[in-house]
Amino acid sequence: METETDETVAGRVQRGDSEAFGMLVERYEAKLMRYARKFLRDPDDAKDIVQEVFIKSYENIQSFDATRRFSPWIYRIAHNEFVNAIKKRARGPVLGLDFDVVFPHLTAGETADDTALERDTKNILEECLDELDPKYREPLVLYYFEGLSYKDMADVLRIPMSTVGVRLARGKHMLQKVAAKKNLYE
């Protein structure tokens, strides 16, 4: 039997089939928990936030455009919740304007890392996550752990695609520096 797409299920929820929302919860709970754990080390905090994400997505399901993909939509809600959680914990002021999004960037298009490189990056990322600025941590997490494309990441983070490329490149560069400091390279 053909599995219904997330978009079809979301469409059913919009038409009043609230039980169908359970399918979306089943499909996304583990992913969003994994995403949350990259930002909030405390598993209870992560669980609370993921619960809040599902509540908000149910409350606002009528704002979802079923002709677009569901995954970036729910990740966007999750991103907003994590940002709010980080702001609450931040010691200093959080900058309003991000200069990465002001100027156009000329970057290479999206290319897939080879499998070994990707595996190495993921392992190093796990070890070094806490030491990365959330601005660069999040694109790395979304790309390497959640498998989102540049296009989807642009929709989740509400930034230009070229800025996604720049942040990934800078994030990888920072990761290398942190990993070298921790002697993680063999």
Partner 1 sequence: MDAIHSGRVRMRPRWKFVLSGALAGLGAIILLFTLLFIASFAIFTLRQSGALFVPVFGMRGLFAFFAALPLILIVLLVLFVVVLEVLVRRYRVGYRTPLLVSVVAILLIVVLGGYAIERTRIHEELSQQARGPGGLPAPFQMMYGPGAQRVPDIYHGTIVAMIPGGFLLADENGAGTTTILIDPSTRLPLGDGFGTGDQVVVFGEESSGTVHAIGVREISPADQ
Q: Which stretch binds partner 1 (CB under 8 A): 10-18, 39-47, 77-85, 138-146?
A: 10-18
Based on CB atoms, which residue is closest to partner 1, 25 or 178?
A: 25
Based on CB atoms, which residue is closest to partner 1, 134 or 160?
A: 160
Instruction: Calculate ∠ Cα 160-162-165, nearest 5°.
Output: 120
Considering only residues 45 to 64 of the shown chain, the ones binding partner 1 according to CB under 8 A are 55, 58-63
Confirm or reject binding of residue 20 to partner 1 (CB under 8 A). no
Of 160, 157, 155, 161, the residue nearest 64 (C-alpha): 155
Query: Which residue is listed with tokens 């063999």?
Result: 186
Q: Which stretch binds partner 1 (CB under 8 A): 37-45, 111-119, 141-149, 151-159?
A: 151-159
Based on CB atoms, which residue is closest to partner 1, 22 or 147?
A: 22
Q: Which stretch binds partner 1 (CB under 8 A): 19-27, 84-92, 109-117, 178-186?
A: 19-27
Which residue of 33, 101, 178, 184 would you call a contact of partner 1, by CB under 8 A?
101
Confirm or reject binding of residue 103 to partner 1 (CB under 8 A). yes
Based on CB atoms, which residue is closest to partner 1, 5 or 60?
A: 60
Confirm or reject binding of residue 159 to partner 1 (CB under 8 A). yes
Q: Which residues bind partner 1 (CB under 8 A)?
A: 13-14, 18, 21-22, 25, 55, 58-63, 101-105, 154-155, 158-163
